[in-house]
Chains A and B, each alone.
With several copies, the nearest count.
Chain A
């Protein structure tokens, strides 16, 4: 069991931190990027550095470390959405031909895939209902497809006989795109007799889809964790320097105690989320193990994440409300990640369904 990272991992962290720290060296730089299309700017360099190949060539640990660095600068690049999730699914479900055709292209940044799995008003259910597949064609509507416009390959979950299949689509669909509150874009995608090719054998792939979503949840949680840590740092820095009533804010005990509470939550979240990655990285873990770990990590984002995000704004006062200052964007990103990976009720329900699996829940094996 290991909570420390090795030298090679440390180098990866430094490299990613250096790269995204340059591209997004200020809140203003990030804002400028998210205003323009497609809303992210570090992609080619991430590809060059090999970050986009991590899900295919390294373990969940490296993926999480990279995601956490992206979270620290709230990089808008769709690493988790496109690489971990869509890329990961292609790599796990695709035929050998599909993999050899696509995986390298994705890792090199030439192909940007996204997964279209959510459907209107169906929460975070992975089972496809609205979109159906038959005779080589897709019909129906997917919602909240992150970066659908920029993507050149959609992986679409669709109802098939006997379950939920996965299909590749490159053309023939309509998107209605909106800005997300955290500076990204997401689309409602409508398929009307859209030509589609099966990913893998075209049969039920619900289990693989769920597993990929859980791995993505864990990576997302690290992204949120990075953002939470920096949101607290910024807040602590503000309390030390901002003066009110003739003294710096850190003279107000009620405020410093709230910062202390944020730190407590952050450290507990760091532990649980890191543990989830250790589970994901372990070859002996079953998909059920990973699902539970993902839910524990997601609960931290839903609770500690929201707590830290909102108190970071409150402790700043007015300046925290402005788009010109960074902390609101951190809050928005933490919130958005929570919305992508499932809310508190969703994950509590998932865990409650397995409440009888153990007497004591012990993180050590």
Chain B
């Protein structure tokens, strides 16, 4: 027995499932399901297929390729995508810079960037975090000093995920160091990563993989036309961007799929009994998480982030980690060499990056509970 969808939503779901499982190449989806890393080319290929069908950026304004979907439909879209092993549209493009440009940038920038952003013709990197800032994002130090028609940018960003593939980077930079509050005096700037003075250094993570980078800016000259919105109003756009990542924040579909894989493997190896209690326990927790995501979706309005997003982020990350721990543990002693241990180590990031679980608890205690 399941929550009943309306016939309309049921049809929508079937269409999504049909599309994802037939139009996105199986060779790409099977890599996702095996939790392997995709190449840049594979990610671009997949997103372009989605975009051609109008399924890459449903959350954008209609005129820029968005869809007039209900929150529930967006949930279904995301869930089915994950269950089918379809790589999600690149978040930096689809969920971050795209909506910011669409909402706050000049018409010129919209026309210049939005279509290419949706189609992943431009690969965007994110330039928010800095080495000395961490969770305290607003204390960033990278400066942009105006000289005539250009900003001269100096400083360093870090934790730039997949920055090694980046064509452009969207940045928070300090344009008014004298502003009375650190949140003021920050601007939102778009930088071509091929500009002289931009250097990308990949950071090896504890699983041996390379997915985050440091990006250095040494007297990088950026046309003032690349400024999004108003100078010194960047913090507003950043908050909009950070709050925008609501649908899919809990990554339920992916966890469900990995858990199904765990069940399958445990069965194949004859150890299902040994892990059955953990498996059903996680299934039950994922059920609670998905129904929570549905509740949040049902009660969201006007694109404003529901405060319970923090609940989804915390529990979503805990369950991603728990499922990857299960997969690792099923490997027994072979886990020392297995890919599953590397994924487990890599997944420590999900409770750190994108607003650590400590930051989320602060939000819940403050915003929701009023403590």
Contacts and interface: CB of A to CB of B under 8 A. Distances in A.
The answer to A–B direct touch (Cβ < 8 A) is yes
A348 B2 contact: no
A186 B26 CA distance: 32
B32 to A, nearest CB: 15
B333 A339 contact: yes
Contact of A181 (B79, B314, B345, B353): B345
Interface residues of B, number: 89
Contact of A123 (B203, B332, B353, B368): B332
Nearest to A267: B311
30 contacts: A1-B294, A3-B295, A118-B334, A123-B271, A123-B332, A181-B207, A181-B341, A181-B345, A236-B370, A240-B370, A244-B136, A259-B371, A260-B360, A263-B369, A268-B289, A269-B288, A271-B289, A272-B287, A272-B288, A274-B291, A279-B2, A328-B206, A339-B341, A348-B281, A349-B277, A361-B287, A363-B291, A364-B3, A364-B294, A365-B2
A204 to B, nearest CB: 23
A192 B329 CA distance: 30
Interface in B169-212: 203-208, 212
Nearest to A124: B333
B135 A328 contact: no
Interface in B323-371: 329, 332-337, 341-342, 344-345, 348-349, 351-353, 356-358, 360-362, 364-366, 368-371
Interface string A227-254: 0000000001001101111100010111
A139 B345 CA distance: 35
A149 interface: no
B333 A360 contact: no
Contact of B283 (A242, A255, A256, A351): A351
B364 A264 contact: yes
A247 to B, nearest CB: 10
Interface in A95-126: 118, 120-121, 123-124
Contact of A267 (B204, B208, B292, B334): B292
Interface of A: 1, 3-4, 118, 120-121, 123-124, 143-144, 146, 178-182, 184, 186, 236, 239-240, 242-246, 250, 252-257, 259-261, 263-264, 267-272, 274-275, 278-279, 282, 284-286, 289-290, 292-293, 295-296, 299-300, 310, 313-314, 317-318, 320-324, 328-329, 331-332, 335-336, 339-340, 343, 345, 348-349, 351-352, 355, 359-365
A314 to B, nearest CB: 6
B260 A360 contact: yes
Contacts of A257: 358, 361-362, 365
Given A290-B1, A318-B159, A321-B349, A260 B280 contact: no
Contact of B205 (A121, A143, A264, A321): A321
B233 interface: no
A284 B271 CA distance: 35
Contacts of B139: 245-246
B28 interface: no
B267 to A, nearest CB: 8
Contact of B294 (A3, A293, A300, A352): A3
A349 B284 CA distance: 12
Chain B interface mostly: helix
Contacts of B289: 268, 271
Given A1-B294, A296-B284, A314-B351, A144 B206 contact: no
B288 A322 contact: no
B66 interface: no
B280 A310 contact: no
B288 A351 contact: no
Contact of A322 (B203, B272, B276): B203
A322 B352 contact: no
A345 B325 CA distance: 14
B342 A259 contact: no
Nearest to A178: B337
B134 interface: yes
B371 A240 contact: yes
B129 interface: yes
